[in-house]
């Protein structure tokens, strides 16, 4: 691995963050209103107790196995590998989880924390609706009332997920502020939380927000990477050469990456939503084209103007349509450990169709971005090399969006 | 440290009257109208001015102030212009304390050291930054105190006795007690509860305690002013401006006059607060 001279010195381990203040280098932190501060400290205490409590661990493992269906398979994509003619491609199939994405891993962990904290009401924000569905699911399973904030634009483009949430008993609030996407949903969820701080647990869907959320979400999602390590050793007897995952807020990616961060020979690539291209405003590539700023409780790379006003961004994929990124990814970018690249809407759409036809798997538009990068990289690598891509969600929810883009009237 | 805030509260204590602290959004609906609103505030009876810095994602604000921020940004307001507004105001008023209020990101992007130097030079006396709790004091609070600008902290109903000393630690100027858990512009809670909270905070500090979030009318200002050292009114001021705008955001009447009418009423309320108590 190469490090530029102006980069911070390489740490002994990439896996020790955050520090006690919740910082990953200059990123992370607790930038919240005072009203929320006592609650966030309480959450941190409870989390610190829970993570070393064998009972908590056992309960979560039991749910992961019997409710979600973990471990998810590590699948060798034989026909895609053959088609691309380079590295062997494996998919970590988190799209087969109950509720159809990796989001359930985090929701089960957090609902157990909410229960421990004595909270009686769950709120969540959602972009594509995958986290909203997973939140509504665990709320139903544990008997909590649940309210989900979702941008009005996303409510439209992810209609099937909205209905699923309603079936599961959740109340869905369409947020019309801004462009009506994930950022606006998060603002509104924070307003609800600050108002109902006594009884409400905010189930954040990605590895972002104030400390300790980035850490605890990462821990709940790291089951993806831990399983991948074991499965890869069992099948290939060695670690992969490259990991690829899509990053919106970055929870599926950090979940896959984190257990491998100290394995120097494993190259790690995060794929951002390049939207309609980085030269304009219509993308969500906060790491590639943004700058450090403070939003939604943490310091991280953001899409913003010179006055510190946050831009709206754009992506074909509602789940990547967010102008920020989890703080640990910002740190991993600056430290040089992980490479972040953009993929355009059109490339993701092509990858979506290719996988559907070659492997009989309809991926969500989010991992379709990761797949588009795999399609670029695999042919340049040797046949003895191995790529693992996190197939973090299934595409049922995107069928209508894709149909529209391809000119089919569904 | 600038001394306008301390002087103002000391003078008000002499005459046993709580301060009227008025918030407005800098640049709403445009720079010139907003500057006239600012100039009208002290003339109508405001003792302290909170100058709002618009931010695209105001997580702690209700719909009224969200919309005001949107209007200001659409009208081209920036942090540079908000500082400029203070500077222009100071040319004719060197007495009324100005506290800038908003969110951290625009300041962070402007550059903390550069911001503090420019704020000082523009006649700013204090800062209220909603998303900087004491845990993040090294970001702006400590540099501000070093630069001679007061850092005013919010205390809330969730700030218990154990946490209060942490919150009050580096606070100067005054303490802003947020009357309820919630966003700006919500309904005001029971005034006796507010009075209890003010008493509790005063047990931990000699600083003046001002109460805000939810105070909209003259009679509420009077009731809150009986116990608090200051009454903060924000959403009602912003509403007075919004009420004279048409659907395209163009003023159909003078926003400064609309605000002045409201503030005169609120000033009468705080003036009566302690008289009622004495009687």
B59 to chain A, any CB pair closer than 8 A? The answer is yes
A199 to chain B, any CB pair closer than 8 A? The answer is no
Determine the pLDDT at residue A7.
57
Q: What is the dihedral of CA B170, B173, B177, B182, to 10 degrees?
A: -80
* Closest approach of B271 to chain A, Cα-based (Å): 30
Positions of B marked active-site: 50, 61
* CA A57 – CA A112 distance, rounded (Å): 10
- Picking from A279, A351, A346, the residue whose alpha carbon sits closest to that of residue A315 is A346
Burial class from Cβ neighbours inside 10 Å (0-12, 13-18, 19+) for residue B145 reads middle
Determine the pLDDT at residue A5.
56
* CA A352 – CA A350 distance, rounded (Å): 5
pLDDT digits (tens, 9 = 90+) for A288-343: 999 999 999 999 999 999 999 999 888 888 888 889 999 999 999 999 999 999 99
Look over chain A and give the mean of its residue pLDDT values, rounded to a whole number.
95
Q: What are φ and ψ of residue B254, in 5° steps?
A: -75, 115
**Tokens representing A216?**
């605890």
DSSP count for chain B of H helices, then E strands? 12, 9
Closest in B60, B78, B131 to A294, CB measured: B131
Crossing angle for the helix pair B79-90 and B112-121, nearest 10 degrees?
Answer: 20
Predicted model pTM: 0.95
Determine the pLDDT at residue A331.
98
Among B26, B56, B104, pick the best mutation site for testing chain A contact (most A Cβ within 10 A).
B56
Among B25, B136, B175, pick the best mutation site for testing chain A contact (most A Cβ within 10 A).
B136
B158 contacts A197? CB cut-off 8 A:
yes
> Mind spelling out the 3-state secondary structure of chain A?
CCCCCCCCCCCCCCCCCCCCCCEECCEEEEECCHHHHHHHHHHHHHHHHHCCCHHHHHHHHHHHHHHHCCCCCEEECHHHHHHHCCCEEEEECHHHCCCCECHHHHHHHHHHHHHHCCCCEEEEEECCCHHHHHHHHHHHHHCCCEEEEEEHHHHHHCHHHHHHHHHCCCEEEEECCCCCCHHHHHHHHHHHHHHCCCCEEECCCCCCCCCCHHHHHHHHHCHHHHHHHHHHHHHHCCCCCEEEEECCCCHHHHHHHHHHCCCCCCEEEEEEEEECCCCCCCCCCHHHHCEEEEECEEEEEECECCCCCECCCCCCCHHHCCCCCCHHHHHHHHCCCCEEEEEEHHHHHHHHHHHHHHHCCCECHHHHHHHHHHHHHHHHCCCCCEEEEECCEEHHHHHHHHHHHCCCCC
Share above pLDDT 70 across residues of chain B, in percent, rounded to a whole number = 98
B108 contacts A38? CB cut-off 8 A:
no
Model confidence at B177: pLDDT above 60: yes
pLDDT digits (tens, 9 = 90+) for A231-280: 999 999 999 999 999 999 999 999 999 999 999 999 999 999 999 999 88
Look over chain B and give the mean of its residue pLDDT values, rounded to a whole number.
95
What's the ipTM? 0.95
* Closest approach of B48 to chain A, Cα-based (Å): 22
Closest in A35, A37, A309 to B56, CB measured: A309
Among A22, A27, A33, pick the best mutation site for testing chain B contact (most B Cβ within 10 A).
A33
pLDDT digits (tens, 9 = 90+) for A17-33: 999 999 999 999 999 99
* Closest approach of A118 to chain B, Cα-based (Å): 16
* Closest approach of B272 to chain A, Cα-based (Å): 31
B60 contacts A33? CB cut-off 8 A:
yes
B154 contacts A308? CB cut-off 8 A:
no
B164 to chain A, any CB pair closer than 8 A? The answer is no
Closest in B56, B108, B131 to A310, CB measured: B56
Cα angle A166-A395-A296, degrees, rounded to a multiple of 5 = 65
Cα angle B54-B60-B63, degrees, rounded to a multiple of 5 = 70
* Closest approach of B187 to chain A, Cα-based (Å): 11
B186 contacts A187? CB cut-off 8 A:
no
Domain boundaries along the sequence of chain B: 4-277
A308 contacts B181? CB cut-off 8 A:
no
| Residue A74 β-bridge partners | A92
| Residue A242 β-bridge partners | A267, A387
Determine the pLDDT at residue A1.
46
A297 to chain B, any CB pair closer than 8 A? The answer is yes
What's the pLDDT band for A6 if we cut at 50, 70, 90? Answer: low
Dihedral class, residue A360 (left if φ above 0, else alpha if ψ from -120 to 50, else beta):
left
Rounded to the nearest angstrom, the gap between the alpha carbon of residue B195 and the centroid of all alpha carbons in its chain is: 20
Q: Which residues of B touch A308 (CB under 8 A)?
A: 55, 79, 105-110
Determine the pLDDT at residue A107.
98
A185 to chain B, any CB pair closer than 8 A? The answer is no
Q: Which residue has the tokens 């966003």?
A: B183
Determine the pLDDT at residue B190.
85
A294 contacts B133? CB cut-off 8 A:
no
Model confidence at B279: pLDDT above 50: no
Among A42, A192, A210, A308, pick the best mutation site for testing chain B contact (most B Cβ within 10 A).
A308
pLDDT digits (tens, 9 = 90+) for A90-128: 999 999 999 999 999 999 999 999 999 999 999 999 988
Closest in A21, A32, A295 to B105, CB measured: A295
Top pLDDT among B21 and B188 is at: B21
Closest in B107, B154, B182 to A34, CB measured: B154
Determine the pLDDT at residue A312.
86
* Closest approach of A306 to chain B, Cα-based (Å): 7
pLDDT digits (tens, 9 = 90+) for B48-106: 999 999 999 999 999 999 999 999 999 999 999 999 999 999 999 999 999 999 999 99
* CA B167 – CA A176 distance, rounded (Å): 35
Closest in B59, B157, B186 to A190, CB measured: B59
**Are B89 and B115 in contact, with CB atoms under 8 Å apart?**
no
* CA A89 – CA A85 distance, rounded (Å): 10
| Superfamily (CATH) of domain B4-277 | Aldolase class I (3.20.20.70)
Determine the pLDDT at residue B60.
92
Determine the pLDDT at residue A178.
78
* CA B153 – CA B25 distance, rounded (Å): 19
Within the 90-149 window of chain B, which residues sit less than 8 Å (CB to CB) from chain A?
A: 103-110, 130-136
Top pLDDT among A202 and A396 is at: A202
What's the pLDDT band for A10 if we cut at 50, 70, 90? Answer: confident
Q: What are φ and ψ of residue B77, in 5° steps?
A: -70, 140
Model confidence at B148: pLDDT above 60: yes
Between chain A and chain B, the number of residue pairs with CB atoms below 8 A apart is: 114
* CA A100 – CA A87 distance, rounded (Å): 27
């Amino acid at each position: 691995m190469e490090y530029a001279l102006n980069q911070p010195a390489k740490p002994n381990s990439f896996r020790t963050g955050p520090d006690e203040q919740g910082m990953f280098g200059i990123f992370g932190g607790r930038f919240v209103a005072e009203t929320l501060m006592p609650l966030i400290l309480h959450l941190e205490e409870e989390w610190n107790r829970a993570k070393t409590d064998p009972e908590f661990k056992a309960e979560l493992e039991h749910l992961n196995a019997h409710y979600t269906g973990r471990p998810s398979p590590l699948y060798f994509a034989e026909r895609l590998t053959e088609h691309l003619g380079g590295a062997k491609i494996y998919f970590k199939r988190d799209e087969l989880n109950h509720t159809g994405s990796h989001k359930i891993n985090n929701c089960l962990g957090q609902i157990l924390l909410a229960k421990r904290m004595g909270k009686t009401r769950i709120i969540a924000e959602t972009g594509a609706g995958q986290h909203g569905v997973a939140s509504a699911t665990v709320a139903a399973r544990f008997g909590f009332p649940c309210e989900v904030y979702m941008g009005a634009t996303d409510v439209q483009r992810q209609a099937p997920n909205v209905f699923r949430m309603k079936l599961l008993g959740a109340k869905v609030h369409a947020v019309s502020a801004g462009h009506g996407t994930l950022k606006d949903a998060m603002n509104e969820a924070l307003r609800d939380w600050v108002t109902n701080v006594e009884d409400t647990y905010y189930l954040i869907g990605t590895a972002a927000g104030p400390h300790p959320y980035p850490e605890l979400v990462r821990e709940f999602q790291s089951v993806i990477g831990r399983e991948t390590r074991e499965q890869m050793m069992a099948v290939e007897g060695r670690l992969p050469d490259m990991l690829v995952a899509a990053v919106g807020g970055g929870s599926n990616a950090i979940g896959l990456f984190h257990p491998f961060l100290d394995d120097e020979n494993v190259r790690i690539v995060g794929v951002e939503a390049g939207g309609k291209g980085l030269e304009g405003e219509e993308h969500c590539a906060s790491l590639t084209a943004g700058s450090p700023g403070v939003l939604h409780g943490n310091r991280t790379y953001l899409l913003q103007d010179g006055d510190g006003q946050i831009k709206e961004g754009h992506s074909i994929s509602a789940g990547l349509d967010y102008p920020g990124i989890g703080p640990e990814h910002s740190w991993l970018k600056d430290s040089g450990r992980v490479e972040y690249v953009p993929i355009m809407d059109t490339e993701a759409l092509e990858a979506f169709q290719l996988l559907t036809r070659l492997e009989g798997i309809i991926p969500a538009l989010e991992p379709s971005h990761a797949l588009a990068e795999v399609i670029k990289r695999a042919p340049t690598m040797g046949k003895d090399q191995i790529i693992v891509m996190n197939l973090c969600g299934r595409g049922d929810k995107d069928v209508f969006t894709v149909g529209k883009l391809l000119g089919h009237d569904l | 440290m600038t001394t306008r805030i301390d002087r103002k509260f000391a003078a008000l204590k002499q005459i046993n009257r709580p301060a009227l602290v008025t918030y407005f959004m800098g640049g709403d609906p445009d720079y010139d109208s907003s500057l006239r609103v600012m100039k009208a505030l002290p003339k109508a009876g405001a003792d302290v001015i909170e100058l709002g810095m618009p931010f695209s994602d105001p997580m702690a604000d209700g719909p009224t102030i969200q919309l005001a921020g949107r209007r200001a940004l659409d009208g081209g307001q920036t942090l540079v212009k908000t500082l400029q507004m203070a500077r222009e105001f100071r040319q004719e008023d060197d007495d009324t304390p100005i506290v800038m209020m908003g969110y951290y990101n625009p300041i962070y992007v402007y550059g903390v050291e550069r911001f503090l130097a420019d704020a000082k030079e523009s006649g700013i006396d204090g800062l209220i930054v909603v998303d900087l709790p004491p845990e993040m004091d090294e970001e702006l609070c400590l540099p501000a105190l070093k630069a001679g600008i007061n850092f005013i902290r919010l205390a809330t109903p969730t700030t218990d006795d154990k946490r209060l000393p942490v919150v009050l630690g580096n606070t100067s100027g005054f303490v802003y007690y947020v009357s309820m858990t919630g966003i700006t512009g919500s309904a005001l809670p029971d005034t006796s509860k507010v009075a209890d909270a003010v008493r509790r905070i005063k047990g931990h500090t000699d600083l003046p305690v001002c109460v805000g979030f939810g105070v909209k009318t003259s009679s509420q200002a009077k009731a809150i002013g009986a116990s608090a050292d200051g009454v903060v009114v924000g959403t009602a001021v912003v509403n007075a401006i919004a009420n004279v705008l048409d659907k395209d955001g163009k003023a159909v009447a003078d926003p400064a006059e609309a605000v002045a009418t409201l503030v005169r009423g609120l000033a009468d309320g705080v003036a009566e607060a302690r008289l009622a108590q004495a009687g």
